[in-house]
Amino acid sequence: MQCPYAYTVISFFKSDNSGFNGQGMHPLAKIKHLAGQIKVETYALFLAARDSRTPWYVKIVIAVIVGYALSPVDLIPDFIPVIGYLDDLFILPLGIALAVKLIPQPVLADCRARAMQTVNSKLPISWVAGIVIILLWIFITVILGVWVYESLIA
């Protein structure tokens, strides 16, 4: 089975406006479709990583890909104009495609179906996690504010 995420990324960069299935598609609609595919594929990888039928080495590959995606450290820093985002544009899709190739097909099909169903119905929301993150940002802001205030007073 071909990776729909990789197909979506490749078709996004086509010079013509033929869309994903031969129909004309506006560039903004392409971006929205690509974001939806990324969301489903990422959630399917998450489900596959937690599945007991997935080999341990594939779970490590998935962890490295997710860790790189969430890490503030990149091969090329993002503050470098244009070039900074090229590593995210190419490395992450290649990593996701690699993980998809390594996951056993029955597991991948099951995880994609569950991911599609979950994403279409709505991803679960964790209010506790949201509150913890907001409190963490408030704490960091207060600490930085106190530090700046003390440096200006001293």
Question: What does the pLDDT look like over 49-108, one tens digit per residue?
Answer: 999 999 999 999 998 887 777 666 666 776 777 777 777 777 778 888 899 999 999 999
For the whole model, what pTM was predicted?
A: 0.56
- 82 Ramachandran zone, left/alpha/beta (phi>0; psi -120 to 50): left
d(CA 49, CA 115) in angstroms, rounded, equals 13
